[in-house]
Amino acid sequence: MMNIPDSSNPRVVIIGGGFAGVAIAQKLKNKAFQVVLLDKHNYHNFQPLMYQVATGGLESGSIAYPMRKIIKEHREAFFRMTLVEQIDTENKKVITDIGTIYYDYLVIATGSTNNYFGNKEIEKNSMVMKTIPEALNLRSLILENFELALQTNDMNERKALMNFVIVGAGPTGVELAGALAEMKNAVFPKDYPDLDISMMEINLVQGSDNILDAMSKKSSKAAEKFLKDLGVKIHLKTIVTNYDGKKIETKGGLSFDTHAVIWSAGVKGAPIEGMPQTLDRASRIRVNEFNQVEGFTDVFALGDVAAMYGEKYQYGHPMMAQPAIQQGNLLAENLERLTKKQSLKKFIYNDKGSMATIGRNKAVVDLPKLHFNGVFAWFVWMFVHLFSLIGFKNKTLVFWSWVYNYFVFDRESRVIIRPYRKNRDIKPQDN
């Protein structure tokens, strides 16, 4: 049972406490609405720093923030930890695994999920990093592979255990490759003195002819050089066709034996059952410039799951934190306008730029009119990420971990807390 009391205020049900859902929930604080926030996790996940959890640089708790704390001081807000299963727009209700809830306004902010482009083998055998449990699985797998490498005298097997293949060279793939390369150079030689660490390979595979191809050419080239200097092997114009858990194959005939393939080659919207007619080719829900789902005035979609086509963004906005936050903020304002029968404000994306870090003293930053890289870009990257984290405690934890790791060349959290069993039949259906 949901057990949400009736209210004289209109009820806004928000599905998803990611960047978009949290932004609108925070903006609706103490406004004339009853806010009900639903999420399958009881914490907000700061996804941009997940690769650092996967590579032992940060504890998972420092990028997770309790959902209940976010709405703690709100007059009429409720959080329920639940998996939303279906939406019934005809009867204005949301069906979840703990019961049904009726809404006056519905906000779908369910984010995205991994896109394997229909390849079941790759889905079954590769690692992904959309959730904190998945980042912890990856951390365990990396470390377990090294433990196993020590236990075998078969050199081909050892090489395969020490070969990490990352598919997709967007920010996630690039940041992960850089972090693994730093572990190879600074951490693993000390941890495994009886292993020949030069056998470790980090292969970054990219389908197009540039890494970070949503960024400027200058940033893309600089990031490529940073990665190569760190020892990462980059394979451009290379399409992965299969991975059976042991061998990864590509269209051009290139193949590697590897026990760790990390898939960061695609995402698609994560819509909820009940509104299939409005999906675009990336499974995103088509919305108008007010984030209203096509055909509705009381149902909205925000962030990664929303596709707002426009002149500048022909296929919708980039699936990044800023569009999600900005849409959430504006929708809070528009809901108030709607109840006051005022005209709604159109969403105009304020592109503040994008960035990626490759490692210590190495980052690339694209601002609307300026592109730069190197040490200063790295400080900008750190400042922006620290500033964007929710909560003083998390900011402090991350800051001190970075200071410590910087001076000691360490990754304190390289521990196998929850062993990961590769190739188990059931994968966590978690996104």
Q: Give contact residues for ligand FAD (rule: CB under 6 A).
A: 15-21, 38-41, 47-48, 50-51, 83-84, 109-111, 129-130, 171-172, 270, 272, 303-305, 319-322, 324
Report the residue number, 79 or 256, with the smaller CB distance to ligand FAD.
79
Task: Name the DSSP letter for residue 346.
Answer: P
Report the residue number, 27 or 159, with the smaller CB distance to ligand FAD.
27
| Residue 175 annotated to the active site | yes
How many whole angstroms separate alpha carbon 204 and alpha carbon 197? 18
How many whole angstroms separate alpha carbon 110 and alpha carbon 92? 18
Q: CB 328 → ligand FAD: shortest distance, Å?
A: 7
Kindly list the distances between the CA atom of residue 239 and the CA atoms of 123, 180, 221, 245, 252, in Å, as whole numbers in the listed order.
15, 22, 20, 17, 8
Which residues neighbour 410 within 8 Å (Cβ) at sequence distance 6 or greater? 186, 187, 404
Tally of residues, the chain: 431
Q: CB 97 → ligand FAD: shortest distance, Å?
A: 9
φ/ψ of 66, rounded to 5, equals -60, 130
Q: CB 300 → ligand FAD: shortest distance, Å?
A: 12
Q: CB 386 → ligand FAD: shortest distance, Å?
A: 13
Report the residue number, 106 or 272, with the smaller CB distance to ligand FAD.
272
Residue 1: helix, strand or coil by DSSP? coil
- Give the sign of the dihedral formed by CA 127, CA 128, CA 131, CA 135: positive
Which residues neighbour 403 within 8 Å (Cβ) at sequence distance 6 or greater? none
Which one from 76, 134, 144, 175 is the annotated catalytic residue? 175
How many whole angstroms separate alpha carbon 48 and alpha carbon 174? 12
Q: CB 336 → ligand FAD: shortest distance, Å?
A: 21
313, 346 contact by CB (below 8 A): no
Q: How many CB atoms lie within 10 A of CB 392?
A: 8
Report the residue number, 31 or 40, with the smaller CB distance to ligand FAD.
40
Active-site residue list: 175
